[in-house]
Amino acid sequence: MNETLHIETFSGRSQKLQACIHCGLCLEACPTYLETGEEMSSPRGRIYLMKALEEGRIEATDEAFIAHQDSCLVCRSCETACPSGVQFGILMEQTREIITNTAKPNWLHRFIYTKLLGSPKLVRALQYPLGIASKSRFARLCEKTFQLKTPLLLSKEGVGGWLSPLISSLQLLPDNIPFPKERPLIYPTGTKKRGSVGLLIGCIGDLFTSHINDATIKVLNQLGYDVHTIPKISCCGALASHSGFGEQARELGLNVIAALESSPVDYYISNIAGCGAMLKDYSKLFEGTPNYERALNVRKKIRDISEFLLEFDKDNILQMNLALPEKTLIGYQAPCHLYHGQQIKDAPLELLQLIRNAEVFPFEENDICCGSAGMYNIEHPVMGEALLERKMTIIEKQEPDIIATANAGCLMQLAKGVRETKSNAKILHVIEILAEAIES
């Protein structure tokens, strides 16, 4: 594909780049800048390089250019900090798409983003070998192996190019992943019906953390909602989009939009911050295309679970008089794609505060990425680990009984941190704490 033509297909990219006034107010909000102190690993530095590409002063194949764009977490913390409203997330995703279309990606990336994530059957099939790996504690062996930090495991070249991501991904596996279960199309409420919602069960999310979906269904059913699981839905395209596979992301996005349009529900619910942000941002992905209006319609009906419950069910939850069995200190770590991507900052905290015996607080720096960031901790294990260590140092200081978060990837990354620090804290999704309080 012609690189210049391709840039022109990104509606309004030049204006989006020009919005940056180089003030530097985003620097201290950027995790990779905080770790490295390097200007080119900051939002301002990366935008400077994007402008250089736009103006033809640098090639998309330039190794240093690729490395600095590649090391970004796409956490969008810089968007929250920016006084000029720079839309950094979409600029970065477009930049990566230009790189992917110019410098050929390796076979593993091509397979994951163009084949695996587009096939729910292939994703489901993975659950058998991964289930065996997690039940046999092979995953924990990988964790110990990775801690050796041998040059081969840290290398992106040769054998390291596939061995490093393989070991990095296996070490994140939770213990005892259940074998696949077919979900029914509808979970009817057992109480007086108040509405119907469609739950995005996720692709990889339902593979590794199906307990989050179980808890979400339980709470919604209890509140009077029929929960539809939406047939024929594929991956939402978030992982492909973050990694520069824009064509695949748009293809996956269109599948999801079609599946949602045919689902007879009042709202679509997401409990995975990255997927929710992606669905809300389809309008950016399809800007300037005939599917823009369809994307905007999805935007009107999609809610994160915490946002939905606070908007429609706060009084009902209060009437349920939820309580935990004993006083419990709950620290909250915000997923970047909820806090920055969707600008939902307080809803999970407010929801937890409705539970008796829950003492809820946000962790210091809870708006800074834990190093998970989609596939980042697999592709960039060294930076992913450095950010996790920073996070766990703060968490340990605040001694929570429960670490609460609202995204499957963060949950798995923090679970790794808890294993490494031998902390006694439990890690739960906010909705799981609510479900637990219903049971108590």
Q: Compare residues 30 and 200 and give the one whose CB is closer to ligand SF4.
A: 30
Q: Which member of 3, 6, 24, 145 binds ligand SF4 (CB under 6 A)?
A: 24
- Angstrom distance (rounded) from CA 67 to CA 62: 9
Q: How far is the CB of 41 from ligand SF4 (least distance, A)?
A: 8
Contact positions with ligand SF4 (CB under 6 A) in 47-86: 47, 72-78, 81-82, 84, 86
Residues in a beta bridge with 299 = none
Tell whether residue 382 is a contact of ligand SF4 (CB under 6 A).
Answer: no
Kindly identify the residues of this chain, within the stretch 154-213, that bind ligand SF4 according to CB under 6 A.
none
Verify binding: residue 341, ligand SF4, rule CB under 6 A.
Answer: no
21 vs 159 by CB, closer to ligand SF4: 21
Q: What tokens were used for 206?
A: 């339902």
- Using the rule CB under 6 A, which residue among 22, 232, 314, 419 binds ligand SF4? 22
Nearer CB in complex with ligand SF4: 82/406 = 82
Three-state SS at 303: strand
Give backbone dihedrals phi and psi of 229, rounded to 5 degrees, phi first: -95, 0
Rg over CA atoms, the chain: 21
- Report the b/e string of 364-376 with b at 16+ CB within 10 A: ebbbbbbbbbbbb
Q: Which is nearer to ligand SF4, 24 or 174 (CB)?
A: 24
Contact flag: residue 380 with ligand SF4 (CB under 6 A): no
Range 52-59 contact pairs with CB under 8 angstroms and sequence separation of 24 or more: 53/95, 53/98, 54/7, 54/13, 54/14, 54/17, 59/102
In this chain, which stretch among 29-37, 400-408, 415-423, 432-440 interacts with ligand SF4, using CB under 6 A?
A: 29-37
Site string for ligand SF4, 85-114 (x = CB under 6 A): -x-x--------------------------
CB of 305 to ligand SF4, least distance (A): 24
What number of residues does the chain have?
440
With contact defined as beta carbons under 8 Å apart, do 275 and 407 qualify?
no
Query: Binding to ligand SF4 by residue 25, rule CB under 6 A?
Result: yes
Give whichever of 43 and 331 is closer to ligand SF4, judged by the CB atom: 43
Nearest-approach distance from CB 392 to ligand SF4, in angstroms: 19
Helix (H) or strand (E) holding 428: strand 426-429
User: Cβ of residue 207: shortest distance to ligand SF4, in angstroms?
Assistant: 26
Site track 301-330 with ligand SF4 (rule: CB under 6 A), x = hit? ------------------------------
Spell out a b/e string for 128-167, using b for 16 or more CB atoms within 10 Å of the CB, else e: eebbebbeeebbbebbeebeeeeeebeeeeeebeeebbeb
- Identify the DSSP state of 324: E
Verify binding: residue 21, ligand SF4, rule CB under 6 A: yes
Query: And the tokens for 375?
Result: 């596939």
Phi/psi at 23 (5° precision): -75, -25
Residue among 173 and 344 whose Cβ is closer to ligand SF4:
344
> In the complex, what is the shortest distance from the CB of residue 72 to ligand SF4, in angstroms, rounded to a whole number?
3
Helix axes 43-54, 88-102, angle to 10 degrees: 50
Q: In the complex, what is the shortest distance from the CB of residue 324 to ligand SF4, in angstroms, rounded to a whole number?
A: 34
Give residues in contact with ligand SF4 (CB under 6 A): 20-26, 29-32, 43-44, 46-47, 72-78, 81-82, 84, 86, 88
